[in-house]
């Protein structure tokens, strides 16, 4: 098992890396690869701006707090009917 990450692995973990969902060790390895590998860095920049655009669209679509409280209300209703 090699310590160095290859391009395939780096791209595979890119989404989780951008969402900060990797362990610190893996995130460090992806970051290291991006610093050494220009094609992957370009790919990461593209994905990052794509994710930022998606987030902006979600925010523009409605107030997140309102949506969340509605979901919580629905969940409360459905869990009340459990059992019996």
Nearer to Zn ion, 7 or 75 (CB): 7
Minimum distance from residue 32 beta carbon to Zn ion (Å): 11
Please count the residues of the chain: 84
Least distance between Zn ion and beta carbon 27 (Å):
16
Residues contributing to the site for Zn ion (CB under 5 A):
7, 37, 40
Report the C-alpha dihedral over residues 59, 63, 68, 70, rounded to 10 degrees.
-140
Handedness of CA 6, 41, 29, 17 (dihedral sign): negative
Secondary structure letter of residue 82 according to DSSP: S
- Considering beta carbons, is residue 3 or 76 the nearer one to Zn ion? 3
Q: Which is nearer to Zn ion, 7 or 54 (CB)?
A: 7
């Amino acid at each position: 098992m090699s310590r160095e990450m290859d391009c395939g692995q780096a791209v595979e973990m890119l989404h989780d890396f951008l969402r900060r969902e990797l362990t610190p060790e893996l995130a460090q390895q992806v970051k290291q690869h991006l610093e050494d590998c220009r094609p992957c860095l370009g790919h990461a920049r593209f994905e990052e701006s794509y994710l930022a655009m998606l987030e902006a669209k979600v925010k523009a679509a409605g107030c997140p707090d309102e949506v969340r409280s509605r979901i919580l209300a629905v969940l409360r209703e459905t869990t009340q009917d459990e059992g019996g």
